[in-house]
Structure 1
Amino acid sequence: MSLINVKNLTFSYDGSYDNIFENVSFQIDTDWKLGFTGRNGRGKTTFFNLLLGKYNYSGNISANVNFEYFPFYVAHKENLTIDVISDIFPDYLNWKLIREFSLLELSQDILYRPFDSLSYGEQTKVLLATLFLKENSFLLIDEPTNHLDMNARKLVSDYLNTKSGFILVSHDRIFLDNCIDHILSINKTNIEIEKGNFSCWWENKKRQDNFQLAENEKLRKDINRLSKSAKRMGNWSQEVEKSKQGTTNSGSKLDKGYVGHKSAKMMKRSKSIQRRQQSAIEEKSKLLKNIESSDSLKISQLTYHKSRFVELENVSIFYGDKMVCENMGFTIEQGDRIALIGKNGSGKSSIIKLICDENINYTGTFRKGSNLKISYVSQDTSHLQGNLTDYALNNGIDQSLFKSILRKLDFSRVQFEKDMSSFSGGQKKKVLIAKSLCEKVHLHIWDEPLNFIDIISRMQIEELLLEYSPTLLFVEHDMDFYKTIATKIVEL
């Protein structure tokens, strides 16, 4: 066991308007299974890069361990898998590799296949096996679940549960709960560490937020009461001061010394109340800084003239001579929220492309309503570049609404000035979802919409879909999400 000590860490990117970290201090035990959570753009990957020594920073990071980052960069994906592993870790022991392959249910045959011929899930598991060959290292695991199907997620989560000595970034709640024993969370104003899994941390977070909101309400009432008292005392003091120039009811002259003393006493009391009021205002302003804002989102679909939107009957889809799915049948009707589930490569994205009018080779019966308007969110975000204002104009969506949705999804106003190519993976995905929510359509089709998106934003999207019940077809491997949202499940 050793410790990683972070003291007074401050960092910002060159030319940035704001600090990513500011005077942050905490301590990590290298035996922990540490989950790393926080909203998109808060600096999770940046912190990994600071540990790896890629950026200059102020403060101090001390550690007596080597850091290894996942996913590894693979320069030559056309090489055999065994050669890719050797390039990453030339000194690995073969029996240890076979042990890790067995734990991840990988066949040894894939060692002699080109790496780029493996499925995304197989590639992920191969690189994880290679990562855990490196002993005496502290492992930085950055979002291993993206694009993994549910079976692969469960397998990888069980695998990580047998390990220790890592920080894991993942936005899948069930995945995290199964394989971590501590949480490192980047909040709005600080970084904190807590023992337990994600669900324990989230319950504690809600209790703390509710306590702070209750304290805030109590302070607000105190401020109103003190404000009225201060004003009343001030008015009384002025009235008494004015009376120094007058007479008593009996016509005798007033004791100006007594009246002046009474006026000064009231003024002093008024000033005291004002100071207490100001102190309460300052305390209130500090209180809510760390509460995550998660304002509700809205969606407004167009009304379609038919109850049935899409029908597939005995549909089989082909790429060349290869059949990717066979005899598939289901319907999409008004108000359906349909989850397409199945292993990677089972044809989920192909069915979506068929419905979205892409040129797909198929047999069977496929019907789609005339003039059906569809909003599609793809897996790919690589095309996003330029600023958000131009993006809204080019896509014919309401710029104010678009930016309002992004604000609710935790975009700062500074982000609106940046080029989208500099956004994190989660921020780019939020751009696509915000665009989709702005579009006037009958049907939303989302292909793995939650990849890279933080947990709080996932919860906002869940609440949106449950409240407004839009017609939706989606592919998503976050089991918690699809079980909460889906009214129908189509398994391939």
Structure 2
Amino acid sequence: MSLINVTNLTFSYDGSYDNIFENVSFQIDTDWKLGFTGRNGRGKTTFLNLLLGKYEYRGSISSKVPFEYFPYEVKNKEANVIDIIEEAFPNYVLWEVMRELSLLEVDDDVLYRPFDTLSNGEQTKVLLAALFLKENSFLLIDEPTNHLDINARMVVSDYLRLKKGFILVSHDRAFLDNCIDHILSINKTGIEIQKGNFSSWFENKEMQDNYERTENDRLKKDIRRLSEAAKRASDWSNKAEAKKIGFDPTQTEKSIGRRPYQGAKAKKMMSRSKSIKERQQSAIEDKSKLLKNIESSEKLKISQLNFHTNRLVELENVSIFYSDKKACDNVTLTIEQGDRIALMGRNGSGKSSIIKLICGEDIDYSGIIRKPNQLKISYVSQNTAHLYGNLSDYARANEIDESLFKAILRKLDFSRIQFEKDISAFSGGQKKKVLIAKSLCDKAHLHIWDEPLNFIDVISRMQIEELLLEHRPTILFVEHDIEFCNNIATKIVQL
């Protein structure tokens, strides 16, 4: 066991006036299994890069163990897997490699296959196995789940539960809960660490947020009450002082005798007014310490068009072909208004192919597909590589309401300065949010989302869940976040 010490860490990118981290300090035990969470764009990957020494920063980061980053770059993807492992870890022992692959449910024969012939899930598992061969390293694992289906996520999560000494960036709640013992969270004001899994951290956060909201409401009432009391005391003392200053010596003895009394009471009321103002200032200072880390998660809306028939799409014994390969076989599927259908299956089972066929792409298939010509579909693709330019131009090109589009992005935690940047510079999660916000603006009868939550932070996932449960749009989706599927789907189609 050793410690990683972060002391007064301050960092901002060149040309930026805003610090991503400011005077951040904490300690990490290298035996911990840390889940790393935070809203998109808060700096999770940036922090990992700071640990790796890629950027200059103020403050200090000290560690007696070296850091290893996942996914590391494979320069020659045509090389056999065993050669790639040897390049990354020249002192490997074959039986140890085979043991790690067995734990990850990967056949040994992948070792002698070119890396680029492996599926995305197999590539993820191979790279993880190679990293964990380095026993004295601390691993920085950056979003390993984005190319894993549900079954593969369970396998990798079980594998990580057997390990220790890593920081894991993931937005999959069930995945995190299964394999971590501490949470590292980037909040609005800094980074904090808690013992436990994601669920215990989120429960504690909700309790703290609720306490702060209650305390904030109480202090607001106190400040308002003290302000009114201070004003009354100030008004009275001012009137009394005016009477004292305006004393007329020709007044009767009875009136003269009241002067010392008026002065004493005025002095007392001025003292009381000062005391009230001090209490009011203390309450304002206490209030200023609250609500700084409460995440905004305003409700989203979707306005889906009604269609004149209940049945929107019907597939009957559909098989899809690519060259001489069959992507899927004899799929039968019906989408009716109000359905929230999760299309599930292993990677390569044809989920995206089914979606593209329904969306009207030119795909070689057999069987029957029934879909009215008037049906309007809003589609969110897996791919974000086509996104570039500014948000205003993107809204105009897609014929959506720019104000509504940006309002949705604000609710999804976009800062206003983000609106001035090119979309190509956004993080992976922010790009997915652009696609989802656009889809929520579309005037459509059916929404089809293909892995919409890749890279998207947990708070935003919960917002999207709440939206779909409240407004109940007709939607067909592919998603490997098992908790999201369980919460949202009214039907499951397994390929």
TM-score normalized by the length of structure 1: 0.97
Give the secondary structure class of the aligned counterpart of 1:463.
helix
Aligned partners of 1:490, 1:91: CA distance in 2, in Å? 46
Query: Runs ≥4 in structure 1, deviation > 6 angstroms?
Result: 246-251
Letter of the 2:325 counterpart: K
How far 1:251 sits from its partner (Å)? 9.9
Aligned to 1:92: 92
CA contact (8 A) 1:6 1:26 kept: yes
Aligned to 1:109: 109
How far 1:262 sits from its partner (Å)? 2.6
Greater Cα shift, 279-288 or 347-356: 279-288
CA contact (8 A) 1:10 1:20 kept: yes
How far 1:406 sits from its partner (Å)? 1.2
For the aligned residues, what is the CA RMSD?
1.7
List gaps (5 residues or longer) in structure 1. none
Aligned partners of 2:106, 2:276: CA distance in 1, in Å? 72
1:444 alignment partner, one of 444, 447, 459:
447
How far 1:250 sits from its partner (Å)? 8.3
Aligned partners of 2:383, 2:107: CA distance in 1, in Å? 29
Aligned partners of 1:234, 1:44: CA distance in 2, in Å? 52
Greater Cα shift, 296-305 or 79-88: 79-88
1:308 alignment partner, one of 298, 306, 311:
311
How far 1:292 sits from its partner (Å)? 1.4
How far 1:257 sits from its partner (Å)? 4.6
Aligned partners of 2:158, 2:367: CA distance in 1, in Å? 40
**Pairwise mapping of residues 258-277 of structure 1 onto structure 2 (< 5 A)?**
258-277=261-280
Aligned partners of 2:220, 2:390: CA distance in 1, in Å? 39
Letter of the 1:310 counterpart: V
Give the secondary structure class of the aligned counterpart of 2:360.
coil
How far 1:54 sits from its partner (Å)? 0.3
- Flag the 1:249–1:351 CA change in 2: closer, same or farther, 3 A: farther
Aligned partners of 2:287, 2:359: CA distance in 1, in Å? 51
Greater Cα shift, 154-163 or 377-386: 377-386
List gaps (5 residues or longer) in structure 2. none
Aligned to 1:193: 193
* Residue-pair matches, total: 492
Aligned to 1:331: 334
Give the secondary structure class of the aligned counterpart of 2:466.
helix
Give the secondary structure class of the aligned counterpart of 2:175.
helix
**Pairwise mapping of residues 113-124 of structure 1 onto structure 2 (< 5 A)?**
113-124=113-124
How far 1:370 sits from its partner (Å)? 2.2
The percentage of aligned residue pairs carrying the same residue is 73
Aligned to 1:409: 412
Give the secondary structure class of the aligned counterpart of 2:439.
helix
Aligned to 1:372: 375
Give the secondary structure class of the aligned counterpart of 1:449.
coil
Residues 446-465 of structure 1 show CA distances to partners (whole Å, capped at 9, x for unaligned) of: 10000011111111110010
Greater Cα shift, 228-237 or 305-314: 228-237
Give the secondary structure class of the aligned counterpart of 2:176.
helix
Aligned to 1:156: 156
Aligned to 2:360: 357
CA contact (8 A) 1:148 1:344 kept: yes
Aligned to 2:39: 39
Residues 349-389 of structure 1 show CA distances to partners (whole Å, capped at 9, x for unaligned) of: 00000011111111001011221111111111122222222
1:220 aligns with 2:220: yes
How far 1:78 sits from its partner (Å)? 2.1
Aligned to 1:290: 293
How far 1:249 sits from its partner (Å)? 11
How far 1:89 sits from its partner (Å)? 2.3
**Pairwise mapping of residues 382-393 of structure 1 onto structure 2 (< 5 A)?**
382-393=385-396
Greater Cα shift, 334-343 or 414-423: 414-423
CA contact (8 A) 1:7 1:23 kept: yes
Aligned partners of 1:303, 1:351: CA distance in 2, in Å? 23
